[in-house]
Amino acid sequence: MAKFDHVIIGTGINALVAAAMLSRRGDKVLMVEREDRIGGCMRTEEITLPGFHHDVMAATFVLFLTGPAHAELGEDLAKHGLEFCHSPHPTAVLRPDGSSLVLSMDRAENVAAFNAAGAGDGDQHAADVGRIEQDADFLFALLGQPLWSAKTVTLLANQARKRGMGALKAWFGDAMEPSRGWLETRYTSASVQALWAPWCLHVGLTPEASYGGQMSRVIAFALEAAGAPVVKGGAGQAAAAFRSLIEANGGIIRTGVDVTRIMVDGGKVHGVITADQEQIYAESVIASTAPGQLYEGLLLEDPRPENPKKFRHGRGNFQLHYALDGPVAWKDDALKDVALIHLADGIDSVSKSCNEAERGLLPEVPTICVGQPHTMDPSRCPEGKAVLWLQIPDAPGVIKGDAAGKITSDGTWTEETREAFADRIEAILKKHIKGFAKLKLARRAYSPRDLETMNINLVGGDPYGGACALDQFFVWRPHGGQVNNATPVKGLHHIGASTHPGPGLGGGSGFNVANALNKVTVSDRVDGVKRWLGIIR
């Protein structure tokens, strides 16, 4: 009977980070994945035409590149084929009137461009990202390390001594500021406001949500410092590099294995049972799952957290992909090499689209994020061709109506509804691209329902692991009773986007659990933090 040190359920970014770190120590690690491929949301396929490689879900790796998991594993992963591609212009906004504003990785260039857009806006930008840089040690520790710990208490005590209690209180008050509040009180230019307004959506928030301003400032700092990198060959190549590294370390990865039960006896985990009734024994089980899947499925009647609230999932995601018969001919040539372009008019347009989606409506004018991975990685498509990656972060999981009153639905994402909504998005996109009808070779759309079918953790098509509202974030994620990644079952650990530090491709929860199980020394952790801060600076 085989017995492992760790069985990891799922193979998303957090699971892969944990497996890589634990297997490197020499632990016996088994990863089991219910799908026929590993990687979770890191998935690259020829979904339109042969030779056109599309990142079906996740695409941009700025959170991984600037996070502690990459500082720890990046050198090893590079040896196993992980390579990033960059653009000097990570993001831009394109407004309905055709005007745009582009962010560079050169701060002086951004200051000049923002000051030209609005008097003093460039200086304000320098001050905002400068404060994030100045607070990097404190801020990124809060965003990355286990929060419910003596280490965090010590961190806060040191900050109180350094700043003073009043200044620390003010710091946290500023950090709770919504994105709307930050942008409307700091920037005069509608274009600068429009550039940053959509970014809160990418961390599962809205312009009116608490701490959205701080998260947007963190994103602004990260984009300027590290860009919006994509993986050479597609996001699926990141999963392949992890697999190669884990297997080189002696770890085992099995696909097509559906875990249906976690074995618990006397309050301690003993392993898992699969749909084929195979019993796999382990000292610890690490579940990279949504909370409902863990506590309402895999554990059944076994110990559960005392939690009167039911975990809430957030808005769904909609994906749209294009194969094009030539370079993208933007009417504004400044956009030709931008990694990620938001089509949005400003704070109000972003607020309107996400509010409509949260009320179950198909947004009348959705906020659209357009990626151009072929400009950074020509291997994504045949020479002279192009691919577009479109993400719409505001789509209802359950449809209650259409904000424009034009698309009919029975409440579910049928093929007809999906394609009608895709037509609405395409109508907005083609206004800004010359000769789009002739360029378009093929398109492929994915509704929230389609995304959940591909990845069980995307409940209702929510890619952020659950609503990121303050009451179920930070030390309250996924619920107030959970202490870091521990569960009521000894030896069972919960990781993934539903746990701190939340969604994205940073791999933070996998990193934290691996460190806890590795029992790293204080000096090891300090060295790791130094490597991490050296990268983000």
Residue 16: per-residue pLDDT: 98
Tens-digit pLDDT profile for residues 249-290: 999 999 999 999 999 999 999 999 999 999 999 999 999 999
CA distance 251 to 22: 9
The confidence band for 203, taking pLDDT boundaries of 50, 70 and 90, is very high
Highest mean pLDDT among 98-102, 151-155, 523-527: 98-102
The reply to whether omega before 478 is within 30° of 0 (cis) is yes
405-420 CB burial, b ≥16 within 10 A, e <16: eebebeeebeeebbeb
Tens-digit pLDDT profile for residues 211-240: 999 999 999 999 999 999 999 999 999 999
Mean pLDDT, rounded, for 332-346: 97
Whether the CB-CB separation of 41 and 376 falls below 8 Å is answered with no
CA distance 303 to 264: 9
CA distance 131 to 6: 41
> Which residue is listed with tokens 């089991």?
32
CA-CA distances (angstroms) from residue 52 to 63, 84, 304, 403? 26, 19, 46, 34
The confidence band for 537, taking pLDDT boundaries of 50, 70 and 90, is very low
57's tokens? 């879900």
CA distance 304 to 306: 6
Tens-digit pLDDT profile for residues 464-492: 999 999 999 999 999 988 899 999 999 99
Whether the CB-CB separation of 405 and 363 falls below 8 Å is answered with no
Torsion sign over Cα 415, 417, 418, 422? positive
* pLDDT for 91 beyond 70: yes
The confidence band for 535, taking pLDDT boundaries of 50, 70 and 90, is very low
491's tokens? 């030896």
Residue 519: per-residue pLDDT: 63
Whether the CB-CB separation of 473 and 205 falls below 8 Å is answered with no
E strand residue ranges, 199-315: 230-231, 252-255, 259-265, 268-274, 279-288
Residue 302: per-residue pLDDT: 73
512's tokens? 């934290």
> Which residue is listed with tokens 């959506």?
201
Does an H or E element contain 329, and which? none
Name the pTM for this structure.
0.94
CA distance 140 to 215: 11
Residue 46: half-sphere exposure toward Cβ, Cα within 13 Å: 7
Mean pLDDT, rounded, for 388-394: 97
What distance lies between CA 348 and its chain's CA centroid? Answer: 24
* pLDDT for 536 beyond 90: no
* pLDDT for 524 beyond 60: no
Contacts of 377 (CB under 8 A, 6+ apart): 85, 230, 231, 232, 233, 234
Residue 528: per-residue pLDDT: 47
Q: At what angle do helices 165-175 and 212-226 cross, to 10 degrees?
A: 80
Residue 482: per-residue pLDDT: 87
- Distance between the two ends of the chain, CA-based, in angstroms? 49
Phi/psi at 279 (5° precision): -100, 125
CA-CA distances (angstroms) from residue 71 to 22, 340, 398? 16, 24, 40
Mean pLDDT, rounded, for 292-307: 85
Mean pLDDT, rounded, for 166-192: 96
* pLDDT for 512 beyond 80: yes
Contacts of 166 (CB under 8 A, 6+ apart): none
CA distance 275 to 252: 19
Whether the CB-CB separation of 526 and 130 falls below 8 Å is answered with no
**DSSP-derived pairing of the beta strands 386-395 and 3-9:** unpaired
As a dihedral over the C-alpha atoms of residue 274, residue 275, residue 277, residue 281, rounded to 10 degrees, the angle is: 0
453's tokens? 């079918």
Residue 185: per-residue pLDDT: 97
Does an H or E element contain 129, and which? helix 121-134
17's tokens? 């980070």
Tell me if residue 291 falls in helix, strand or coil: helix
452's tokens? 């959940």
Tell me if residue 216 falls in helix, strand or coil: helix
Residue 303: per-residue pLDDT: 76
Least confident of 121-135, 141-155, 283-297, 472-486: 141-155
Tens-digit pLDDT profile for residues 156-167: 999 999 999 999
- Nearest C-alpha neighbor of 380 from the set 40, 12, 13, 59: 59
Whether the CB-CB separation of 289 and 457 falls below 8 Å is answered with yes
352's tokens? 């309107």
Phi/psi at 259 (5° precision): -75, 125
CA distance 463 to 317: 7
- Residue 378's Cβ-count burial label (10 Å; 0-12, 13-18, 19+) is middle
Tell me if residue 459 falls in helix, strand or coil: helix
Does an H or E element contain 6, and which? strand 3-9
347-374 CB burial, b ≥16 within 10 A, e <16: bebbbbbbbbbeeebbbebbbbbbbbbb
Mean pLDDT, rounded, for 70-78: 96
Mean pLDDT, rounded, for 505-532: 70
Average pLDDT, the chain: 94
Please report which residue ranges of 381-442 form alpha helices under DSSP H. Answer: 415-429, 436-439
The confidence band for 534, taking pLDDT boundaries of 50, 70 and 90, is low
* pLDDT for 60 beyond 50: yes
